[in-house]
Amino acid sequence: MSKIETTYAQYPFLKELGIEEENPGVFNGKWFANGDIIKCSNPTTGKVIATVRGGSSADYETVVQKLLETKNKWALTPAPKRGEIVRQIGDSLRSKLEPMSKLISLEMGKIYAEAKGEVQEFIDVCDYATGLSRTINGQVIPSERPGHVLLECWNPLGLVGIITAFNFPCAVLGWNAAISMICGNVQLWKGASTTSLITIAVTKVVAEVLERNGFDSGICSTIIGPGRTVGEQMIKDKRFGLISFTGSTEVGRHISSEVHSYFGRTILELGGNNAIIVAEDANLDLALRAILFAAVGTTGQRCTTCRRLFVHESLYQPLLERLTKAYSSIKIGDPLAEGTLVGPLHTPSAVKEFTEGLEEIKKQGGKVVIGGNKLEREGNFVQPTVVEINHDAPIVKTELFVPILYIMKFKNLDDAMAWNNEVPQGLSSSLFTNNQMNIFKWLGPTGSDCGIVNVNVATNGAEIGGAFGGEKETGGGRESGSNSWQQYMRRSTCTINYSTEMPLSQGINFN
């Protein structure tokens, strides 16, 4: 058997999704590539699954030219028709829910249940966007001048660039592309190089739907390649009306500087350093379940992962004991195996971040309660870890993208709320309480300063109907629900004079 036949025998879903042993990583209606070879590895074993040839600088320009060719036809297609295409993309993903989920587990490393939830999220956003395609609306505004009316009109931006991270290699494209498409834009997707096979599989699903409906599939183009080349070209390209980026605060700061230098738009979904506060009157059973999923889900590699846990002193010891017991029962292993709750970290560099981060934590007075070790086995496996530490230790203000949870006690709830806000990041936060005064203070102007402010639920697991994003060094972006669609369109305020007179605004007389 050849190498790919052996791989197909072990992972038959690869063939179902059109993954070959060697894959071109650029798509603009056809597949091609002239850049460097990328080895796509399984984080569970460290072994190479397949290879992808990335795009070159010349490939990038070829893709952008196709986007420019297709943008007017797509923009002039009625929005409900665009919504019908997006609906079919959702249906096509439904038909491939199982193999796509297994590919995410294989290449990214999250457990199958979470991978399936990620694909479902893309499907749900397609349903949401389909309805939105018939309800995009502006305002009719009263005019102060007789015989005049003011209208608010929304039109596509044109070209949208979407740069996604490894941890949600499918869903985050859906948040952006489904909404952007019904708004009338064409888009270029640059997925993370370490999840290139997922990028290719998703692109093939979208392309097939466009082609089946008689559209140029270059409307949704893809380029895989390193950020230092094609990524840099993308963020410096003034032909893009919007760059949507999900990733680290450091890279986001660079992208913001580049794009805003030419007054382009950005959606930035950057770092999270999220906290759960357990108040004196909290339901401990509820809190424990939420903390466990929020802290160890996706092996601590969600931007909404709970990294800081503030517990009232009266509940601190009983919660710590129950949390330690729960951590000791977590099954770590192959994310495709039944019963596994924690898979591997995505890359060996993440393992290094885990081990070096724990060394620094100990230097700053942190004490490991449970976990704290790299597992001596093939793959990128570590133990989910709980650390006791002071809230003002400098390391607590830094996001480590690994399964390390800081636990800290408080006496006064106001202090805990202030500690929630004292970090540079501002993505997600949650308060466990049954006191309505606490709840409304938490939601109010002196409560949480995050973009996601929860009560009695975890910091992660956001629904697509609400806008997703955060404040401060999280970047200020908002994706998916609410009025996030407005970021993908340009707004015009239109004054129409339907009279035979020419009155001026503010009562000005210019005779």
Q: How many CA atoms lie within 13 A of 394 on its CB side?
A: 4
User: Among candidates 71, 39, 68, which has minimal Cα distance to 53?
Assistant: 39
Separation in Å, CA 505 to CA 143, 388, 508, 509, 510? 9, 64, 6, 9, 11
Strand order in the sheet with 489-497: 140-141, 148-156, 489-497
- Helix-strand-coil split of the chain, %, nearest 5: 40, 20, 35
The active-site residue out of 107, 114, 121, 269 is 269
E strand map for 287-437: 306-312, 367-370, 385-388, 404-410, 425-426, 428-432
Strand order in the sheet with 31-32: 31-32, 26-27, 220-223, 186-190, 159-163, 242-246, 265-269
Residue 436 tokens read as 């309505």
Transcribe 451-476 into DSSP letters.
SEEEESS-SS---TTSEE--EETT-S
Residue 304 tokens read as 């909404």
Residue 417 tokens read as 């709320």
| Rounded (10°) angle between helices 196-212 and 97-107 | 160
Task: Identify whether 338 is a catalytic site residue.
Answer: no
Cβ neighbours of residue 91 closer than 8 Å, sequence gap 6 or more? none
Q: 245 has which bridge partners?
A: 163, 268
Separation CA 321–CA 317 (nearest Å) = 6
Q: How many CA atoms lie within 13 A of 243 on its CB side?
A: 30
User: Among candidates 278, 274, 272, 302, which has minimal Cα distance to 408?
Assistant: 278
Give the residue numbers marked as catalytic.
Answer: 269
